């Protein structure tokens, strides 16, 4: 695997598609920003209602509604990601919002299903320990088993991370299969997914993803170091990083010679 070529091709795709196409860049910024609106609105409303001392049930319920709206609004950007994963060249325009939304919802559902094993592990091994420890702190009673509880919780967190990573490897190929075939069930065609990863090579696949994350991390870190405008510049460049990352995994998938 020529990792340098993979990075170069993905960078060229993002550069050619976004530089000089301000409209696409701005639309992607909007799609990435819109999901945060319900959360900011919730925070603003909670600050206004502090004097009224809203109950815990109201706080949890209103936050749940805000979170649901944020997930639904994120479907537009997820749907656009699928257009790139289909291998469309050059970078497609941000159009067809009904299709973007419907595709994005299915994309989100696929990701959620793949995360079920990690959620189960978290709920079984981590959540009960966290609740027990929190209740002990609030009651000012530290049980003798606090040490073992903490170790069990940390072990559960480690297992959750490992399970999330493994399922993420399958989910990435599954989502691309869904994008290419348009069939929801193909996202869970594990025999085909294993065959694709096998053609890429498990070690090559993992190394390629690690390289992508390291490149993005370094770029984000360097931009963040820029005085005064680092945060703003980091936000503005998000569409470029997003397009680069999606095109990168698209090319990685294509390296297996799979349709």
pLDDT tens-digit profile of 196-226? Answer: 999 999 999 999 999 999 999 999 999 988 8
Q: What is the pLDDT of residues 57-89, one digit of tens each?
A: 777 888 899 999 999 999 999 999 999 999 998
- Is 179 among the domain residues? yes
- Is 226 among the domain residues? yes
d(CA 221, CA 198): 33
Q: What's the number of domains the chain is made of? A: 1
- Is 259 among the domain residues? no
Domain that holds residue 21: 3-254
d(CA 178, CA 188): 9
- Is 228 among the domain residues? yes
Q: Is there a contact between 106 and 186 (Cβ–Cβ < 8 Å)?
A: no
pTM of the full structure: 0.89
**Confidence check: pLDDT of 94 > 90:** yes
According to the model, what pLDDT value does residue 259 have?
58
Q: What is the pLDDT of residues 119-128, one digit of tens each?
A: 999 999 888 8
- Is 67 among the domain residues? yes
Confidence of residue 39 (pLDDT cuts 50, 70, 90): very high
- Is 101 among the domain residues? yes
**Confidence check: pLDDT of 97 > 90:** yes
d(CA 239, CA 23): 12
Angle at 163 between CA 239 and CA 243, to 5 degrees: 10
**Confidence check: pLDDT of 52 > 90:** no
Q: Which has the closest alpha carbon to 178: 78, 72, 255, 92?
A: 78
- In terms of Cβ atoms closer than 10 Å to its own Cβ (0-12, 13-18, 19+), residue 52 is exposed
- Is 86 among the domain residues? yes
- Is 159 among the domain residues? yes
């Amino acid at each position: 695997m020529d990792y340098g070529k993979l990075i170069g091709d993905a960078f060229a795709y993002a550069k050619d598609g976004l530089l000089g196409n301000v409209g696409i860049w701005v639309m992607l910024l909007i799609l990435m920003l819109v999901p945060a609106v319900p959360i900011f609105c919730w925070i603003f409303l909670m600050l206004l209602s502090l004097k009224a001392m809203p109950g815990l049930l109201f706080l949890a319920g209103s936050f749940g509604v805000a979170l649901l709206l944020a997930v639904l609004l994120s479907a537009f950007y997820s749907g656009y990601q699928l257009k790139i994963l289909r291998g469309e060249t050059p970078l497609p325009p941000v159009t067809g919002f009904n299709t973007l939304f419907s595709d994005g919802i299915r994309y989100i559902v696929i990701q959620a299903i793949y995360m079920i094993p990690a959620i189960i592990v978290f709920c079984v091994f981590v959540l009960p320990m966290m609740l027990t420890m929190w209740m002990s702190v609030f009651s000012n009673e530290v049980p003798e088993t606090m040490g073992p509880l903490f170790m069990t919780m940390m072990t559960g967190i480690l297992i959750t991370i490992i399970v999330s990573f493994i399922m993420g490897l399958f989910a990435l190929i599954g989502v691309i299969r869904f994008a290419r075939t348009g069939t929801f069930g193909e996202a869970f065609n594990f025999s085909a997914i294993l065959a694709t990863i096998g053609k890429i090579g498990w070690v090559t696949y993992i190394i390629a993803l690690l390289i992508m994350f390291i490149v993005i991390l370094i770029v984000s870190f360097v931009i963040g170091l820029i005085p005064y405008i680092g945060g703003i510049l980091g936000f503005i460049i998000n569409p470029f990083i997003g397009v680069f990352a999606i095109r990168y995994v698209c090319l990685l998938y294509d390296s297996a010679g799979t349709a």
